[in-house]
Amino acid sequence: MSRCVVIADSSCLIALDNIDEITLLPKPFGRIFVTPEVSSEFGKPLPPWLTVKSPARIEEQNELEKTLDPGEASSIALALESPDTLLIIDEKKGRKTASDLGIEIIGTVGIIVEANAAGLIELSTGLVDRLEQANFRISFALKSRLLDPKPRIQ
């Protein structure tokens, strides 16, 4: 899964950090960008493979902040500035907004599936259970698809 630009919202950073799996993120992607707002929401020192970058057009971010939180708004605004961008975002409203704007999206669960498919990790019920125990919501249907031997989830 190679992209020119990969941008992460805070939800995946927080979820994977909560289960001590944050080092999973750079495995399929390499360098990942986050905005200052996402860095602030994460609230911890960033790993060296995360690069902080602000959107150039703050007016787009301000417009998005009318309906989204600052991390989501800034991530989407940054994604709009680069072709061939993959945005890692989990919140339903942010995912819909990004998708409506033509941005390719993936969520935390999708990252886990992709890393498993690439042979970078072994997907297990234990990993999914740890996510749920860390208050990451996964629907029963998504959990069933995730644990299917051949899942493909975004």
Tokens of 112: 């886990």
In-domain check, residue 59:
yes
Q: Residue 134's domain spans which residues?
A: 5-146
Q: What percent of the chain has pLDDT over 90?
A: 55
pTM attached to this predicted model = 0.86
Q: Is the pLDDT of residue 152 over 60?
A: no
Q: How far apart are CA 78 and CA 53, in angstroms?
A: 8
In-domain check, residue 152:
no
Give the DSSP letter of residue 122.
-
Q: What would the pLDDT profile of 26-46 be if each residue is shown by its tens digit?
A: 888 888 999 999 999 999 999
Q: What would the pLDDT profile of 9-27 be if each residue is shown by its tens digit?
A: 999 999 999 999 898 888 8
- CA 129, 146, 19, 42 dihedral sign is negative
pLDDT at 1: 45
- Give the count of domains, the chain: 1
In-domain check, residue 154:
no
* Average pLDDT for the chain: 87
Burial environment of residue 27 by CB neighbours within 10 A (0 to 12, 13 to 18, 19 or more): middle
23: domain CATH number? 3.40.50.1010
In-domain check, residue 153:
no
Q: What would the pLDDT profile of 87-142 be if each residue is shown by its tens digit?
A: 999 999 999 999 999 999 999 888 887 777 788 777 666 777 888 888 888 877 77
In-domain check, residue 151:
no
pLDDT at 124: 64
